[in-house]
């Protein structure tokens, strides 16, 4: 029987179960006319669980999870002791009786809420209390939350006595208070999840009391190192968590890009390289000049591989981005993402965490009473180009002020617009055909060459389980089609997450993800060769790009050349004839065993392997102008990252006040990579793309392996959950460095004080915490074998025989690991009934012993060596403000603003390296250097008296590539079942050198090149000797004049600052009662938009987000890139 038939039967069975469950639920809903029937059904549920030596809160949590009810009670009604229970198939009513009766606690069922309260004391017996009865008055009132909604189950107690009551389903209460006790009487209102409130009684007999929620920081749990969950209030460092649901609507293909604007201090940049491209994420600035500056990505506590992959095309021109490791992650599978920014937060991960850690927790299964939970999430968007250059359309194709009159002249000036004034008369173009000498707007050429992009994602998930086993299985399909015809990225993902309770003390967890990824004709970007955008943007301004199609002669297969430099390929030929394809099969498998020796002490063993099998093929066909006989390249690579870890963890409370947590463990990591590649040329038979069809073949093979062994420990202490102290230590041993220099110890210490508990603060301050930490982390930052002298063989080097060659870099066996010392101090606070919050952090990170490739004298026989010389400092401030201006039962508005400033400075470099304006010393490590015009002391341009051109000034800083200022502003509104959210993000202070603008200028496309076209251009200044200078360039020489301007790099620095409306979501949740007829438990439909529009930018011709290569630390230059798109579409989420 085929797998397809089996899968169809399984799917039908699952749907049948869901159908039966929906019909049964509908039948119950129809016949339920009274609340007592509903309550009876709840109380008749069968409950099964085993718990040993746990607090009553844990017992009630377990019942809530199984019975789908919510307990409302004052925790003080239960004594501070631990309990053990075992139930197998007992009705909920009986379970409650056995759990609550010994505590003299009664319950009342209201809808699906169970209100708990102490049973009243028995009345006095006859004969007791013979004195005169006091006068007693009824005190009545109502308790509500900050929105005005009634709160049932609130405990109301007369302070200093045991007399009290509990509010009913409408939040009302009645309490008898003797007149003799009214003087100075205080009523205490307490409720789980809300701040306890004391109200003086005075002469009031009817009260309206409003309770406010407790600070979220007191109870919120976040994921920290090794996947451990900790209360936010206990953390001594800055951690930001974003829920996975924020990434599943206005989504990005690469989850890293979705972090833009979400988190203070996190700078996420998407590469302008089409779908499936890489993301560059940097936390608190670059810490290394040569090494990797991206954070460590950890999935469910274990590290994964994330090195971005790029290849240079065979013309040594365009760069093709093949994606990175996190491209494989499906946003629908993510429960939350936590960002550990500081060293103290990341120290337990050791060498890999020098740049911070991004913790990704995937969704898990949930226990269901019946059947299987099914959810379908579908997302479809269409992308369109929305930024276009602004060209001049006065003068057309040509040079020296003349239009081309022959086909040869048309080809030689195919990219030049220094011709005559446009007049609409026919002229000869590249193919010998005459067409009007009229404007062809670049916007039209871009729209005619590219097409709308589409992204379609469907994720189907199944979850369920019982008391002992829970699971979640998801299947996802992504089809992303680029704006470039024939280019796209596909990803199929299967993800299984399962947890099993093998015994009362032993549990088993496993997560397995399989990915199949296919990149088809990924675009080349930056320079010439496979980069179709080169011709689209730089075509002369009187040529319609559609006339270049199909890009080749169908009879001969030869490329149709549109200009005289054959490396600059015809855009249609690059798009339709130069092909590439890459495939990835990836498996990320994790398993863990946890043994609870006692409720306070457990041992956990984890193992993870990230396996990837990647292959790529690209070629130039016969007929390519640059390589007439064609070229071919193929690569295959297998890589693995394996981690094994064991942890022993102990937590306890001594004397009800002293909290103690301790952990010790060890980690073993191994990385392996094996590759085979083949480069060939000269196809024998046209259009047979195969290595067997080549005259010239050069194969090569590569292998590397590296490992790190580690031990670590931590201690967490607190007093009264008010004063916290955290200590960690880790030691790593690296295989990539020599013994004696291959180990480093990373300590960290941090502390915090919950000021709102320790001090009597004003009532407006609901929560305040002061925290500080210091840590050392580090990294080897060298590749395998980098400390060894390397040799290679060059095929055909001498008389057809291979020759051995040595590396041009001298090995340095004495390299030491980089060390990163971080410190931070911050405060978290919430005000005005938790409506306003602030999270403020000051930090500093100093990286020493940076491993830098340093130039040496060629007389040594080499050109460079690696040295421990670099020292880089990052310091800055991060701010997060949250505000809830409006919150009513029908309408709420939540807003947040985050910003960060980071100052990066290179403090030391290698001895003998340049200093002064042309040196990085004392400057930002992403500084772009270049030459501008030379000026006299009084600020006048200096000209060469012979060439008549402006003289070049000295090499100097032109700008920095990494923005020092980043911001995000998010607003979300809900009105009944409608929701609206919008995210604005901004970056300021960076610049980049635009190769595209440089060529636009040199080729006469920009308006800046119009002066002088009509009557010539007169320039004035001083010559090299300081004498007065004046020269008039004739109109026919403007092409030469402006082409020479290309050497003044300051002309082509583009401001990278912007503010962008990054995402907008407008959604509607259909009421559950309307879904019963179609057997759904949830339905949400949303209109989504991504990269909607710029609110501010100072880059005239480009999207300022011009990421070119995720491995480039400086990000201060960009070539001719793929245009970015505005995405608009729909998101549909169904649940059964």
Q: Can you list the domains of the chain with their CATH numbers? A: 13-118 (3.55.50.30), 136-213 (2.60.40.1120), 222-362 (2.170.130.10)
* Spatial separation of the C-alpha atoms in residues 793 and 820, rounded to whole Å: 38
The one-character DSSP state at 123 is P
User: Which residue's entry shows tokens 């608009």?
Assistant: 1128
- Residue 1018 exposed, middle or buried by CB count within 10 Å (0-12, 13-18, 19+): exposed
Reported confidence tier of residue 15, pLDDT bands at 50, 70, 90: very low
* Spatial separation of the C-alpha atoms in residues 209 and 148, rounded to whole Å: 10
Whole-number pLDDT of residue 373: 86
Summarised one tens digit per residue, pLDDT across range 331-390 is 999 998 989 888 787 778 877 788 888 999 999 887 776 778 889 999 999 999 999 999
Which is higher by pLDDT, 962 or 373?
Answer: 962
Sheet bearing 296-299, strands edge to edge: 239-243, 334-340, 357-362, 296-299, 302-303
**Beta bridge partner(s), residue 157:** 164, 188
Q: What do you get for the CA distance between the two ends of the chain, in Å?
A: 29
Strands 1082-1097, 1125-1135: pairing kind: antiparallel
Q: Examine the pLDDT at 980 and tell me if it is beyond 60.
A: yes
Q: Examine the pLDDT at 474 and tell me if it is beyond 60.
A: yes
* Spatial separation of the C-alpha atoms in residues 372 and 4, rounded to whole Å: 21
Whole-number pLDDT of residue 39: 55
CB count in 10 Å sphere of residue 448: 14
The set of residues, in sequence order, having a beta carbon less than 8 Å from that of 2 and lying 6+ positions away, is none
Which is higher by pLDDT, 802 or 424?
Answer: 424
Q: Assign residue 705 a region: left if phi > 0, alpha if psi is -120 to 50, beta otherwise?
A: beta
Contacts 24+ apart (CB under 8 A), 474-480: 474/330, 474/332, 474/333, 474/363, 476/330, 476/332, 476/333, 478/253, 478/330, 479/454, 479/455, 480/253, 480/275, 480/276, 480/453, 480/454, 480/455, 480/456
Q: Which of 796, 775, 922, 920 is nearest to 852 (CA)?
A: 920
Where would I find the beta strands (DSSP E) of 363-438? Answer: 373-385, 426-428, 434-436
> DSSP secondary structure string, 76-117?
GGS-S-EEEEEEEEEEHHHHHHHHHGGGTEEEEEETTEEEEE
Percent of residues, the chain, with pLDDT higher than 70: 92
- Residue 704 exposed, middle or buried by CB count within 10 Å (0-12, 13-18, 19+): middle
349 three-class SS = helix
Residue 90 to residues 43, 104, 681: CA-CA distances in angstroms?
10, 21, 76
Chain CA centroid to CA 899, Å: 16
Segment 181-192 mean pLDDT: 80
* Spatial separation of the C-alpha atoms in residues 1118 and 945, rounded to whole Å: 34
Whole-number pLDDT of residue 28: 33
**Cβ contact 1121:269 at 8 Å:** no
Reported confidence tier of residue 799, pLDDT bands at 50, 70, 90: low
Sheet bearing 113-118, strands edge to edge: 70-72, 113-118, 105-110
Least confident stretch, 166-170, 482-486, 779-783: 779-783
Q: Assign residue 111 a region: left if phi > 0, alpha if psi is -120 to 50, beta otherwise?
A: left
Q: What are phi and psi of 390, to 5 degrees?
A: -110, 100
Angle at 1077 between CA 1074 and CA 1082, to 5 degrees: 55
Q: Which of 1042, 1066, 1029, 1053 is nearest to 1102 (CA)?
A: 1053
The one-character DSSP state at 57 is H
Look up residue 431 and give its two tokens: 């193919």
**Cβ contact 916:922 at 8 Å:** no
* Spatial separation of the C-alpha atoms in residues 716 and 225, rounded to whole Å: 13
Reported confidence tier of residue 212, pLDDT bands at 50, 70, 90: confident
Whole-number pLDDT of residue 21: 36
Q: Examine the pLDDT at 27 and tell me if it is beyond 50.
A: no
Least confident stretch, 167-171, 425-429, 650-654, 839-843: 167-171
The one-character DSSP state at 233 is G
CB count in 10 Å sphere of residue 1120: 26
* Spatial separation of the C-alpha atoms in residues 677 and 445, rounded to whole Å: 38
**Cβ contact 73:153 at 8 Å:** yes
Mean residue pLDDT of the chain comes to 86
Q: What is the largest CA-CA distance in the chain?
A: 126
The one-character DSSP state at 13 is H
Whole-number pLDDT of residue 413: 95
Segment 239-264 mean pLDDT: 88
The set of residues, in sequence order, having a beta carbon less than 8 Å from that of 931 and lying 6+ positions away, is 952, 953, 954, 955, 956, 1047, 1048, 1049, 1050
Segment 723-731 mean pLDDT: 94
Which is higher by pLDDT, 652 or 343?
Answer: 652
* Spatial separation of the C-alpha atoms in residues 986 and 1097, rounded to whole Å: 10
User: Which residue's entry shows tokens 């007169």?
Assistant: 1018
Whole-number pLDDT of residue 740: 82
* Spatial separation of the C-alpha atoms in residues 641 and 646, rounded to whole Å: 17
Look up residue 712 and give its two tokens: 């670590």
Is-cis flag, bond preceding 550, omega within 30? Answer: yes
Q: Which of 537, 360, 294 is nearest to 1118 (CA)?
A: 537
Look up residue 809 and give its two tokens: 């870099």
Q: Which of 120, 113, 12, 108 is nearest to 67 (CA)?
A: 113
What does the chain come to in residues? 1136
Reported confidence tier of residue 40, pLDDT bands at 50, 70, 90: low
Q: Examine the pLDDT at 436 and tell me if it is beyond 90.
A: yes
Look up residue 730 and give its two tokens: 């880790």
Segment 1081-1090 mean pLDDT: 92
* Spatial separation of the C-alpha atoms in residues 474 and 373, rounded to whole Å: 11
The one-character DSSP state at 489 is E
Q: What are phi and psi of 1062, to 5 degrees?
A: -75, -45
Residue 5 to residues 372, 458, 514, 1044: CA-CA distances in angstroms?
21, 21, 22, 70
Question: Considering Cα of 145, then 148, then 154, then 155, what sign does the dihedral take?
Answer: positive
Look up residue 342 and give its two tokens: 């500081």
* Spatial separation of the C-alpha atoms in residues 380 and 58, rounded to whole Å: 42
* Spatial separation of the C-alpha atoms in residues 329 and 1135, rounded to whole Å: 22
- pTM for the full model? 0.81
Helix axes 92-100, 56-67, angle to 10 degrees: 170
Residue 275 to residues 252, 484, 700, 828, 1087: CA-CA distances in angstroms?
9, 10, 30, 39, 21
Whole-number pLDDT of residue 396: 96
**Cβ contact 765:831 at 8 Å:** yes
Which is higher by pLDDT, 137 or 441?
Answer: 441
């Amino acid at each position: 029987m085929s797998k397809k038939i089996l899968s169809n039967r399984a799917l039908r069975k699952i749907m049948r179960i869901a159908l039966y469950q929906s019909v049964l639920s509908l039948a119950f809903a129809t016949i339920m006319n009274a609340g007592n029937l509903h309550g009876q059904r709840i109380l008749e549920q069968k409950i099964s669980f085993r718990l040993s030596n746990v607090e009553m809160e844990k017992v009630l949590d377990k019942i809530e999870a199984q019975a789908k009810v919510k307990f409302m009670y004052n925790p003080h009604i239960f004594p501070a002791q631990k309990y053990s229970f075992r139930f197998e198939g007992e009705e909920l009513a009986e379970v409650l009786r056995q759990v609550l009766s010994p505590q003299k606690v009664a319950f009342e069922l209201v809808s699906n809420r169970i209100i708990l309260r102490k049973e009243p004391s028995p009345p006095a017996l006859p004969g007791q209390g013979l004195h005169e009865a006091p006068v007693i008055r009824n005190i009545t009132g109502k308790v509500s939350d900050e929105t005005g909604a009634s709160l049932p189950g609130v405990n109301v107690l007369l302070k200093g006595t045991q007399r009290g009551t509990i509010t009913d389903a409408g939040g009302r209460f009645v309490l008898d208070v003797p007149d003799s006790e009214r003087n100075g009487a205080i009523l205490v209102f307490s409720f789980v999840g809300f701040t306890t409130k004391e109200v003086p009684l005075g002469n009031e007999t009817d009260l309206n009391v409003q309770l406010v929620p407790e600070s979220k920081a007191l109870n919120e749990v976040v994921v920290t190192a090794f996947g451990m969950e900790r209360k936010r209030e206990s953390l001594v460092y800055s951690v930001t968590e974003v829920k996975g649901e924020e990434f599943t609507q206005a989504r990005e293909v690469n989850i890293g890009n979705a972090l833009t604007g979400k988190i203070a201090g996190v700078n996420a940049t998407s590469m302008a390289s089409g779908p499936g491209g890489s993301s560059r994420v940097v936390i608190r600035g670059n810490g290394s000049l040569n090494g990797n500056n991206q954070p460590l990505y950890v999935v469910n506590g274990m590290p994964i591989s994330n090195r971005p992959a790029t290849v240079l095309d065979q013309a040594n021109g365009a760069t093709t981005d093949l994606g990175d490791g996190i491209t494989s992650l499906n946003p629908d599978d993510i429960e939350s993402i936590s960002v550990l920014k500081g060293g103290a937060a990341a120290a337990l991960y050791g060498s890999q965490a020098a740049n911070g850690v991004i913790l990704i927790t995937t969704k898990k299964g949930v226990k269901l009473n019946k059947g299987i939970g099914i959810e379908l999430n579908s997302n479809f968007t269409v992308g369109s180009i929305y930024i276009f250059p602004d060209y001049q359309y006065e003068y057309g194709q040509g040079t020296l002020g003349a239009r081309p009159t022959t086909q040869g002249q048309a080809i030689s000036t195919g990219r030049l617009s220094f011709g005559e004034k446009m007049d609409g008369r026919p002229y000869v173009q590249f193919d010998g055909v005459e067409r009007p000498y009229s404007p062809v707007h670049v916007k039209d050429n871009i729209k005619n060459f590219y097409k709308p992009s589409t992204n379609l994602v469907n994720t189907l998930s199944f979850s369920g389980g019982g008391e002992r086993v829970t699971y979640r299985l998801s299947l996802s399909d992504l089809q992303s089609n680029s704006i470039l015809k024939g280019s796209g990225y596909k990803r199929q993902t299967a993800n299984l997450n399962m947890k099993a309770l093998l015994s009362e003390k032993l549990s088993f967890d496993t997560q397995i993800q399989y990915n199949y990824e296919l990149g088809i004709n990924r675009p080349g970007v930056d320079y010439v060769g496979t980069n179709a955008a080169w011709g689209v943007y730089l075509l002369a301004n009187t040529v319609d790009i559609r006339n270049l199609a199909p890009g080749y002669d169908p009879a001969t297969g030869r490329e149709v050349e549109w200009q005289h430099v054959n490396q600059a390929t015809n855009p249609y030929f690059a798009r339709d004839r130069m092909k590439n394809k890459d495939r990835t099969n990836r498996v990320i498998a994790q398993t863990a065993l946890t043994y609870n020796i006692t409720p306070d002490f457990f041992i956990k063993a984890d193992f993870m392997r990230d396996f990837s099998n990647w292959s790529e093929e690209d070629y130039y066909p016969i007929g390519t102008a640059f390589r007439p006989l064609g070229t071919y390249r193929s690569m295959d690579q297998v890589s693995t990252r394996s981690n094994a870890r064991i942890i022993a963890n102990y937590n306890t409370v001594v004397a009800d006040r002293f909290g103690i947590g301790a952990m010790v463990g060890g980690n073993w990591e191994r990385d392996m990579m094996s590759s085979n590649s083949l480069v060939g040329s000269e196809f024998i038979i046209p259009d047979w793309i195969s290595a067997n069809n080549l005259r010239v073949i050069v194969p090569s093979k590569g292998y590397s392996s590296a490992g790190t062994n580690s031990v670590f420990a931590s201690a967490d202490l607190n007093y009264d959950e008010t004063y916290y102290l955290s200590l960690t230590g880790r030691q790593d041993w690296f295989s990539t460095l020599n013994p004696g220099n291959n180990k480093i110890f990373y300590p960290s210490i941090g502390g915090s004080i919950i000021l709102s508990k320790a001090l009597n603060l004003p009532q407006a301050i609901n929560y305040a915490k002061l925290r500080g930490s210091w840590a050392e982390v580090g990294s080897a930052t060298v590749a395998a074998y980098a400390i060894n002298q390397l040799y290679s063989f060059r095929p055909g080097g001498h008389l057809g025989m291979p020759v051995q060659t040595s590396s041009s870099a001298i090995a340095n066996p004495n390299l030491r690991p980089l060390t990163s010392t971080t410190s931070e101090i911050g405060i978290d606070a919430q005000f005005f009934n938790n409506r306003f919050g602030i999270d403020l952090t000051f930090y500093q990170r100093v990286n020493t012993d940076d491993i830098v490739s340093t130039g040496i004298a060629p007389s040594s026989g080499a050109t460079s060596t690696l040295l421990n010389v670099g020292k880089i400092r990052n310091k800055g401030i991060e701010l997060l403000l949250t505000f809830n201006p409006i919150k009513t039962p029908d309408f709420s508005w939540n807003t947040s603003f985050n910003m960060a400033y980071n100052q990066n400075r290179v403090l030391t470099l290698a001895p003998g390296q340049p200093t002064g304006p042309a040196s990085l010393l004392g400057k930002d490590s992403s500084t772009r250097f270049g030459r501008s015009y030379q000026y006299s002391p009084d600020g006048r341009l200096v000209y060469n008296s012979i060439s008549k051109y402006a003289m070049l000034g000295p090499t100097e800083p032109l700008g920095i590539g990494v923005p020092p200022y980043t911001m995000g502003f998010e607003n979300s509104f809900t009105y009944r079942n409608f929701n609206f959210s919008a995210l604005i993000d901004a970056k300021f202070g960076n610049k980049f050198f635009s190769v595209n603008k440089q060529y636009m200028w040199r080729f006469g496309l920009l308006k800046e090149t119009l002066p002088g076209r009509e009557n010539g251009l007169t320039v004035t200044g001083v010559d090299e000797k300081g004498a007065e200078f004046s020269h008039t360039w004739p109109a026919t020489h403007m092409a030469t004049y402006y082409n020479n301007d290309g050497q003044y790099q300051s002309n082509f620095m583009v401001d990278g600052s912007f503010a962008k409306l990054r995402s907008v979501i407008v959604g509607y949740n259909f009421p559950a009662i309307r879904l019963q007829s179609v057997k759904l438990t949830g339905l949400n439909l949303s209109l989504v938009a991504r990269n909607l529009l710029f609110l501010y930018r100072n880059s005239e011709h480009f999207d300022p987000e011009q990421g070119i290569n995720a491995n480039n630390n400086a990000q201060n230059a960009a070539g001719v890139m793929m245009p970015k798109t505005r995405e608009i579409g729909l998101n549909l989420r169904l649940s059964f």
